[in-house]
């Protein structure tokens, strides 16, 4: 992508910032303690501020701009749809809605052929759980620690990270278990095979003690995202599939972050050859150009609601602008081989490049991931694997990660940082040159993290 000419306009930036500070109430923040960057524009893998600073977005927004910013074909499709039919109620059949559902169903695995549209990921999770409960007549849902499923009531209770704590309604039918993560094994395992076997046994035991007939669903991120990009060991997801089949439990895979190209396949489940009963998606489905999410539903669960009404709905379900953006995004991804590019960048640029950084920087404990979905697990000490900052650290305790993040921004890279990790999650159509630029910025900033190792 050619560099952008950026006309600095600090005065305009100051006005944007002032109105933001006066009136915008931001997510997940102590409102008085934040200092949001005023963004002047974005294109491809870059965005820029009003002072003329340009950033390589290695966070893809919140891991969703899989085709980068302002893709001209998707912008044009939204404009055309706005001119033709901006909105229409969900009870009607609308051409772009039908086409978006067809294109998604064509790509989802197995017989996940019906699509319920939502406005985002959390609503997709809410409705997938609702379907599972009604389909089975059971209430409990099992979810993993080290997971994120969204911020609405059910989705946040399913979440296995500290964002849940403030809204935890004492489980609300949710039981959490440990999914595999060899680097920080909850099972004291030393090999992938051991981790897999022990994690499956732990899940079996959890189900036995909860009572299999009380469990409606097991929900897992195919590859947990915000929690640390932990690729499950070979056999784990197939094992969960088998357990679900044995006990009549609905298997939900949450592909809100991992889906639509991020792992180098359309869906991460393809790496593991598993077909869930329900799959949630959002983010990459249209790169968030217009809010959209949904649930892909298999034939058996869809049949539950053939004669019996599904008791759920949203005013904007299948919004034409969002669906037009999805149709255009999926076409762009197919025509421009965006998914193949994500796989190539992972195998040939980011994977080798990040592993090379790990050799030189003692703060890198582990590099893990695939496609354009990578995590650097930063540690104080490689032998002990003690995280560079404590779990859920804030303020002074988080200073090493804050300094590392500031160094990245100074080097023109906008990072995705969570606890003691930085994730390298650029757009799926990131170029080799852009990926290498990101590696260089990481290289420089890791020296800051190295200074905190012992």
Ligand X SMILES: Cc1ncc(COP(=O)(O)O)c(C=O)c1O
The contact set with ligand X (CB under 6 A) reads 62, 120-122, 125, 148-150, 221, 225-226, 254, 256-257, 282, 293
Question: Which residue's Cβ has the minimum distance to ligand X?
Answer: 121
* Residue 223 beta carbon to ligand X: minimum distance, rounded to whole angstroms: 9
* Residue 89 beta carbon to ligand X: minimum distance, rounded to whole angstroms: 22
**Structure-derived torsion over alpha carbons of residues 379, 384, 385, 389, reported in degrees to the nearest 10:** -50
* Residue 267 beta carbon to ligand X: minimum distance, rounded to whole angstroms: 13
Q: Which residues contact 15 (CB under 8 A, 6 or more apart)?
A: none
* Residue 147 beta carbon to ligand X: minimum distance, rounded to whole angstroms: 7
Q: Considering the complex, state which of residue 293 and residue 362 has its C-beta at the smaller distance from ligand X.
A: 293
How many C-beta atoms lie closer than 10 Å to residue 99's C-beta? Answer: 16
The separation between the first and the last C-alpha atoms of the chain, rounded to the nearest angstrom, is 41
* Residue 120 beta carbon to ligand X: minimum distance, rounded to whole angstroms: 3
Give the total residue count for the chain.
454
Beta bridge partners of 253: 220, 279
Question: Which DSSP string do the residues of 252-308 spell out, in sequence order?
Answer: EEE-TTTTTTTTSSSSTHHHHT---SEEEE-GGGTTTSS--EEEEE-HHHHHHTTSS
Rg (CA), the chain: 22
Token pair recorded at residue 223: 């590859």
Q: 183, exposed or middle or buried, with CB in 10 Å at 0-12, 13-18, 19+?
A: middle
How distant, in Å, are the alpha carbons of 72, 85, 169, 291, 316 from that of 75?
A: 5, 15, 41, 14, 20
* Residue 181 beta carbon to ligand X: minimum distance, rounded to whole angstroms: 16
Q: What is the 3-state secondary structure (H, E, C) of 91-104?
A: CCCCHHHHHHHHHH
Listed residue (253, 295, 285) closest to 270, CA to CA: 253
Q: How far apart are CA 454 and CA 452, in angstroms?
A: 7
Token pair recorded at residue 119: 């406005």
DSSP at 349: I
Q: Considering the complex, state which of residue 353 and residue 371 has its C-beta at the smaller distance from ligand X.
A: 371
Q: Considering the complex, state which of residue 157 and residue 363 has its C-beta at the smaller distance from ligand X.
A: 157
* Residue 374 beta carbon to ligand X: minimum distance, rounded to whole angstroms: 15
403 by DSSP, 3-state: which?
Answer: helix
* Residue 217 beta carbon to ligand X: minimum distance, rounded to whole angstroms: 14
* Residue 37 beta carbon to ligand X: minimum distance, rounded to whole angstroms: 20
How distant, in Å, are the alpha carbons of 33, 100, 285 from that of 103?
A: 43, 5, 10
Chain-centroid distance, C-alpha 131: 22
* Residue 194 beta carbon to ligand X: minimum distance, rounded to whole angstroms: 27
Q: Considering the complex, state which of residue 291 and residue 412 has its C-beta at the smaller distance from ligand X.
A: 291
């Amino acid at each position: 992508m050619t560099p952008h000419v950026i006309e600095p306009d600090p005065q305009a930036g100051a006005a944007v910032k002032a109105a933001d500070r006066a009136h915008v109430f931001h997510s997940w923040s102590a409102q008085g303690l934040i200092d949001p960057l005023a963004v002047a524009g974005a294109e491809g893998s870059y965005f820029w501020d009003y002072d003329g600073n340009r950033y390589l977005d290695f966070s893809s927004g919140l891991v969703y701009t899989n085709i980068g910013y302002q893709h001209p074909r998707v912008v044009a499709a939204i404009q055309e749809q706005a001119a033709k039919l901006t909105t229409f109620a969900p009870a009607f059949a609308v051409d772009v809605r039908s086409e978006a559902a067809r294109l998604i169903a064509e790509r989802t695995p197995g017989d996940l052929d019906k699509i319920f549209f939502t406005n985002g990921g959390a609503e997709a999770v809410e409705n997938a759980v609702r379907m599972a409960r009604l389909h089975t007549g059971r209430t409990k849902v099992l979810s993993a620690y080290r997971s994120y499923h969204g911020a609405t009531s059910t989705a946040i209770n399913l979440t296995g990270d500290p964002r849940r704590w403030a809204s935890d309604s004492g489980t609300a039918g949710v039981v959490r278990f440990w999914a595999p993560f060899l680097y920080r094994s909850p099972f004291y395992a030393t090999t992938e095979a051991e981790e897999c076997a022990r994690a499956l046994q732990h899940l079996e035991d959890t189900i036995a003690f909860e009572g299999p007939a009380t469990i409606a669903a097991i929900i897992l991120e195919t590859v947990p995202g915000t929690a640390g990009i932990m690729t499950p060991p070979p056999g784990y997801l197939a094992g969960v599939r088998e357990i679900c089949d044995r006990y009549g439990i609905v298997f939900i895979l949450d592909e809100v972050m991992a889906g639509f190209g991020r792992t180098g396949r359309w869906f991460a489940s393809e790496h593991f050859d598993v077909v869930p009963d329900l799959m949630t998606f959002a983010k990459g489905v249209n790169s968030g150009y217009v809010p959209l999410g949904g649930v892909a539903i298999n034939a058996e669960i869809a049949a539950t609601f053939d004669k019996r009404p599904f008791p759920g709905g949203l005013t904007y379900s299948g919004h034409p602008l969002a669906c037009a953006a999805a149709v255009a995004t999926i076409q762009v991804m197919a025509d421009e081989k965006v998914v193949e590019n994500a796989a190539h960048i992972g195998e040939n640029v980011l994977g080798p490049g990040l592993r090379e950084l790990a050799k030189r920087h003692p703060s890198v404990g582990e590099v893990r991931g695939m496609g354009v979905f990578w995590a650097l697990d930063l540690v104080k000490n490689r032998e002990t694997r003690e995280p560079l900052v404590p779990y859920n650290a804030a303020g002074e305790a988080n200073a090493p990660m804050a300094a590392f993040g500031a160094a990245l921004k100074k080097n023109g890279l906008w990072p995705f940082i969570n606890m003691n990790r930085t994730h390298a999650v650029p757009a799926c159509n990131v170029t080799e040159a852009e990926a290498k630029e990101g590696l260089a910025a990481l290289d420089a900033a890791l020296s800051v993290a190295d200074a905190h190792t012992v």
